Amino acid sequence: MKHASGDKRFKILEAHIKKFQGRQDALIEVLHRAQELFGFLEDDLLLFVAYKLKLPASRVYGVATFYHYFILKPQGAHTCVVCTGTACYVRGADKVLSAVEAKSGIKAGETTADNEFSLLTARCLGACGIAPTVVYDGVITPHQTPDAAVARVNEWLPHDH
Amino acid sequence: MIIDDLDAIAEAERSSAKKTVIRCCMAAGCMSSHSEAVKTSLEKIVRDSGLSERIEVRGVGCMRLCCQGPLVGVDPDGIIYEKVTPEDAPAVIIATQGGEANVKRGDPTHPFYTKQLSIVLANSGLIDPERIESYIAVDGYRALHAVLREMTPNDVVESAIKSGLRGRGGAGYSTGLKWATVAKTPAAQKYVVCNADEGDPGAFMDRSVLESDPHSVLEGMAIAAYAVGANQGYIYVRAEYPLAIKRLQIAIKQARQTGLLGSGIFESPFSFTVDIRIGAGAYVCGEETALMASIEGRRGTPRPRPPFPAESGLWGCPTLINNVETFANIPVIIRKGAEWFASIGTGLSKGTKVFALAGKIENTGLIEVPMGTPLRQIVEEMGGGAPGGVKIKAVQTGGPSGGCIPASELDTPVDYESLTRLGSIMGSGGMIVMDESTRMPEIARFFMEFCMDESCGKCIPCRTGTVQMHRLLDKIVRREATPEDLAKLEELCDMVARTSLCGLGQNAPNPILSTLRFFRNEYLELLQAQPDGKPAPAGANAT
Ligand SMILES: Cc1cc2nc3c(=O)[nH]c(=O)nc-3n(C[C@H](O)[C@H](O)[C@H](O)COP(=O)(O)O)c2cc1C
Ligand code: FES
Classify strands B20-25 and B55-60 as parallel, antiparallel or unpaired: parallel
Tell me which fold the domain B353-435 belongs to. Ubiquitin-like (UB roll) (3.10.20)
Predicted pLDDT at B422? 93
Which candidate from B32, B204, B300 shows the least CB-CB separation from A141? Answer: B32
Mutate to test the interface with B, among A53, A123, A135 (most CBs of B within 10 A): A123
Predicted pLDDT at B531? 55
- Kindly report each contact of residues A48-57 with a partner whose C-beta sits within 8 Å and lies 24 or more positions away, as own/partner: A48/A3, A48/A10, A48/A13, A49/A13, A49/A17, A51/A1, A52/A14, A52/A17, A52/A22, A53/A17, A53/A22, A53/A23, A53/A24, A53/A26, A53/A27, A54/A22, A54/A24, A55/A24, A55/A27
Residue of B nearest to A136 (CA): B32
Q: What is the mean pLDDT of residues A3-8?
A: 80
- Site to probe by mutation for ligand 1, drawn from B195, B217, B459 as the one with most ligand atoms within 8 Å of Cβ, is B195
Q: Are A93 and A50 part of one and the same domain?
A: no
Domain end, chosen from A46, A66, A86, is at A66
Q: Residue A39 domain-assigned?
A: yes
Beta strand extents in B360-413 (DSSP E only): 365-370, 392-397, 403-406
Q: What is the mean pLDDT of residues A130-159?
A: 94
Structural domain including A41 reads 8-66
User: In this predicted model, what pLDDT tens digit does every residue of A89-133 receive, in sequence order?
Assistant: 999 999 999 999 999 999 999 999 999 999 999 989 889 989 999
The CATH number fitting domain B139-342, selected from 3.40.50.300, 3.30.390.50, 3.40.50.11540, 3.40.50.2020:
3.40.50.11540
Predicted pLDDT at B540? 39
Predicted pLDDT at A159? 76
Model ipTM value: 0.92
Residue A156 CA to chain centroid, in angstroms?
17
Contacts of B259 (CB under 8 A, 6+ apart): B1, B5, B265
- Gap from CA of A85 to ligand 2 centroid (Å): 5
**Residue B76 near chain A (CB below 8 Å):** no
Q: Are A88 and A23 part of one and the same domain?
A: no
Q: Residue A109 domain-assigned?
A: yes
Q: Are A93 and A149 part of one and the same domain?
A: yes
CATH superfamily, with its number, for domain B18-107:
Glutaredoxin (3.40.30.10)
Q: Residue A128 domain-assigned?
A: yes
Q: Residue A138 domain-assigned?
A: yes
Mutate to test the interface with A, among B83, B207, B240 (most CBs of A within 10 A): B240
Which protein residue has the closest C-alpha to ligand 1 atom 10?
A: B169
Q: Residue A18 domain-assigned?
A: yes
Predicted pLDDT at A154? 94
Q: Residue A101 domain-assigned?
A: yes
- Gap from CA of B37 to ligand 1 centroid (Å): 36
- Gap from CA of A107 to ligand 2 centroid (Å): 20
Give rounded-to-5 percent helix, strand, coil for chain A: 50, 10, 40
**Prediction pTM value:** 0.95
CB-CB neighbours of A65 under 10 Å: 13
Predicted pLDDT at B327? 98
Helix (H, G, I), strand (E, B) or coil at B161: helix
CATH number of A38's domain = 1.10.10
Residue B478, Cβ density class (10 Å: 0-12 exposed, 13-18 middle, ≥19 buried): exposed
Q: Residue A160 domain-assigned?
A: no
Q: How many domains does chain A have?
A: 2
- Domain extent listing, chain B: 18-107, 139-342, 353-435, 440-524
Residues of A in contact with B32 (CB under 8 A): 127, 130, 133, 139-142
Say if ligand 2 is within 6 A of residue A140 CB. no
For chain B of 543 residues, list the mean pLDDT of each consecutive stretch of 10: 94 95 96 96 96 96 96 95 97 91 95 97 98 98 97 98 96 96 97 96 95 98 98 97 97 97 96 97 96 97 95 97 98 98 97 96 96 97 94 95 95 95 92 94 96 95 98 97 97 97 96 97 88 49 39
Domain end, chosen from A38, A66, A94, is at A66
Contact B170, B398 (CB under 8 A): yes
Q: Are A58 and A83 part of one and the same domain?
A: no
Q: Residue A33 domain-assigned?
A: yes
Say if ligand 2 is within 6 A of residue B199 CB. no
CATH number of A82's domain = 3.40.30.10
Q: Are A93 and A61 part of one and the same domain?
A: no
How far is the first Cα of chain B from the last one, in angstroms, to the nearest whole number?
62
Q: Are A124 and A147 part of one and the same domain?
A: yes
Q: Are A55 and A95 part of one and the same domain?
A: no
Contact B414, B378 (CB under 8 A): yes
CATH code: domain B440-524 is 1.20.1440.230
